[in-house]
A and B are shown apart, each in its own frame.
Chain A
């Protein structure tokens, strides 16, 4: 069965510091991976997906099939990045995603 692991429930960094939110997955097929973000008092929304290979709000994530990882990175964290981040895996053809437990990021001034 597919599984998504976000090992850090809480992550705290200072403004301007680099940040990396870890995501590991287990899935035997070709996965589609996403990062969703939930800012305070807002609904979950897509941050980025690996097939887009784009940078959103300064965040990037590279799919590493060898390490089965999809870590989210930003070189210089901003206070407005404070939020809950979920990594999700979409099993090709299944039509439903598996979410990790989420990581709460706090960026301190």
Chain B
């Protein structure tokens, strides 16, 4: 059982390019989340999904989009990357409609030049 995985592990991207960060979980959790982790700012929620087919905006959604076509996958897309999106991105999932412990992926370190 892999749990929750993310790809790529790290990426260097030119500003203006499009990028999709992948997240897959095999725990059949209903809820999934994307966070960015920045020094001094902690974890900030970008987007979330309480169940397949639904998504919602978090604290810092601008410049990002998500989709939830099925239970397992929750990709995060940067349509036109900017340097301020340089960060470590974590995907997480939780059971019980989000009313439970969150399980985190290993993270993707993204650098936008």
Contact = CB atoms under 8 A, between A and B. Distances in A.
Interface residues of B, number: 25
A49 B42 contact: no
Interface in A46-65: 46, 49
B42 A99 contact: yes
B33 A96 contact: yes
A40 B90 CA distance: 15
Interface residues of A, number: 24
Contacts of A70: none
B104 A44 contact: yes
Given A101-B42, A102-B43, A95 B97 contact: yes
B99 A95 contact: yes
B90 to A, nearest CB: 7
B106 interface: yes
Interface string A65-109: 000000000000000000000101010111111111110000000
Interface of B: 31, 33, 35, 40-45, 48, 50, 56, 58, 90, 92, 97-99, 101-107
Interface of A: 6, 9, 32, 34, 36, 43-46, 49, 86, 88, 90, 92-102
16 contacts: A9-B40, A34-B101, A36-B102, A44-B104, A46-B101, A86-B43, A88-B102, A90-B98, A93-B99, A95-B98, A96-B45, A96-B48, A98-B45, A99-B43, A100-B42, A102-B42
